[in-house]
C-alpha cells in the first residue's frame, strides 16, 4: 500500500521534480496534494491527513520549522528538502530526521523513503521532531541527543555520555547509570556536535567526556581511566594534546 504524501515547496519546478522522481523510481508513494506556503501547507495537511510530507525549509511566509510549530502533535512522517547551512543539517542528523539536499539525488530519495517507512509509531515521529525544534531554536542550551537503533529511538542527555567508541560502521555510547547504546552511524558523524559540548577525541576510535575522566595512567604507553572503570587508549599523536589539556586544568 502506497504512502499518501503532500509536497510542500514554494517552487513549482521543485515539486514537479519530486513527483517525477517518485514515478521514475517506482517508489511506493502517492502524492495526494501540494502546497507552496506555510499557510497553505497547514490547511492542506489538516484536510488531507497525509502519512508523509516532503517539506521545504524556506518559503515566502516562513520556514518548515514555523509550519511544524503550528501542530500540537505531528501525525505524519517528514522528509526535509533543504539548502540550509551546515548547522541545520547537523540538527536534522542528530534528531534522527531524514533530509535531502537540493538538487535531489534519486538514490538518496529512495533511501530516505525506505527509512521513513521503517519508522513504526507516531510517538517516534513526535520525539524526533520535538528534539529537532529544540536543536534549532536553542542550540546553545540544548543538551539532548537522539540515538536511533533498530528497536527504538532514545533521547538522552549529552551530559550522561561518558564516552563513545567506534565499532566498525557503528558507534557505541557508554552512558552514566544507563545501558550502552549501539547506533549505525560512524563516530565521525558525532564529532562536531560533541566537540561543541567540550568532548575530546583521544584516539581514532574514541571520544570522551572529560567530566568523567578519573586519571591519566602513564604506564603501558599511556591511557585514560574513566569514572565507570573503563579505559580509553590515547593515540601517539594525541598525547601532547591530552597532556596540554590536563595541564590547563586546576591542579595542585
Residue 141 clears pLDDT 50, i.e. is over it: no
CATH code reported for the domain at 3-137:
3.40.50.2300
| pTM, rounded to two decimals | 0.59
Mean pLDDT of the chain: 85
Q: Which three cell numbers stand for residue 226?
A: 574513566
Domain limits, CATH 3.40.50.2300, in the chain: 3-137
Average pLDDT in the 228-237 region? 92
pLDDT for the residue numbered 234:
93
In CATH, which superfamily holds the domain spanning 159-248?
Answer: LytTr DNA-binding domain (2.40.50.1020)
pLDDT-derived band of residue 138, with 50, 70 and 90 as boundaries? low
Judging by DSSP bridges, how do beta strands 3-8 and 170-175 pair with one another? unpaired
- Spell out where 37-116 has E strands: 52-56, 58-59, 62-63, 77-82, 98-101
Identify the residue with better confidence: 240 or 251.
240
Average pLDDT in the 99-105 region? 86
Domain limits, CATH 2.40.50.1020, in the chain: 159-248
Residues ≥6 apart with Cβ < 8 Å to 20: none
pLDDT-derived band of residue 251, with 50, 70 and 90 as boundaries? low
pLDDT-derived band of residue 237, with 50, 70 and 90 as boundaries? confident
Identify the residue with better confidence: 122 or 250.
122
Residue 30 clears pLDDT 50, i.e. is over it: yes
pLDDT-derived band of residue 222, with 50, 70 and 90 as boundaries? confident
pLDDT for the residue numbered 220:
79
Average pLDDT in the 239-252 region? 74
In which element (H, E) is residue 114 found?
helix 106-118
pLDDT, tens digit, 9 for 90 and up, residues 189-210: 787 678 778 889 899 899 999 9
- Spell out where 76-196 has E strands: 77-82, 98-101, 144-148, 153-157, 161-167, 170-175, 178-183
Amino acid at each position: 500500500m502506497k504512502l499518501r504524501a503532500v509536497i510542500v515547496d514554494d517552487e513549482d519546478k521543485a515539486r514537479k521534480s519530486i513527483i517525477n522522481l517518485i514515478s521514475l523510481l517506482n517508489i511506493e508513494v502517492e502524492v495526494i496534494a501540494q502546497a507552496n506556503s506555510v499557510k497553505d501547507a497547514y490547511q492542506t495537511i489538516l484536510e488531507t491527513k497525509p502519512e508523509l510530507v516532503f517539506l521545504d525549509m524556506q518559503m515566502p511566509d516562513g520556514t518548515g520549522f514555523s509550519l511544524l510549530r503550528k501542530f500540537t502533535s505531528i501525525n505524519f512522517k517528514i522528509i526535509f528538502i533543504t539548502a540550509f547551512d551546515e548547522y541545520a543539517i547537523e540538527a536534522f542528523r542528530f534528531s534522527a530526521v531524514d533530509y535531502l539536499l537540493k538538487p535531489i539525488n534519486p538514490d538518496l530519495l529512495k533511501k530516505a523513503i525506505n527509512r521513513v517507512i521503517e519508522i513504526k509509531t507516531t510517538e517516534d515521529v513526535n520525539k524526533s521532531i520535538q528534539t529537532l525544534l529544540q536543536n534549532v531554536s536553542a542550540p546553545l542550551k540544548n543538551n539532548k541527543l537522539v540515538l536511533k537503533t533498530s528497536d527504538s529511538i532514545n533521547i538522552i542527555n549529552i551530559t550522561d555520555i561518558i564516552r563513545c567508541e567506534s565499532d566498525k560502521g557503528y558507534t557505541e555510547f557508554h552512558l552514566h547509570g544507563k545501558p550502552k547504546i549501539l547506533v549505525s552511524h560512524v563516530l565521525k558523524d558525532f564529532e562536531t556536535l560533541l566537540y561543541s559540548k567540550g568532548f575530546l577525541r583521544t584516539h581514532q576510535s574514541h571520544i570522551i567526556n572529560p567530566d568523567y575522566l578519573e586519571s591519566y595512567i602513564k604506564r603501558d604507553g599511556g591511557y585514560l581511566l574513566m569514572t565507570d572503570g573503563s579505559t580509553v587508549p590515547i593515540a601517539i599523536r594525541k598525547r601532547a594534546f591530552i597532556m596540554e589539556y590536563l595541564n590547563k586544568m586546576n591542579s595542585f
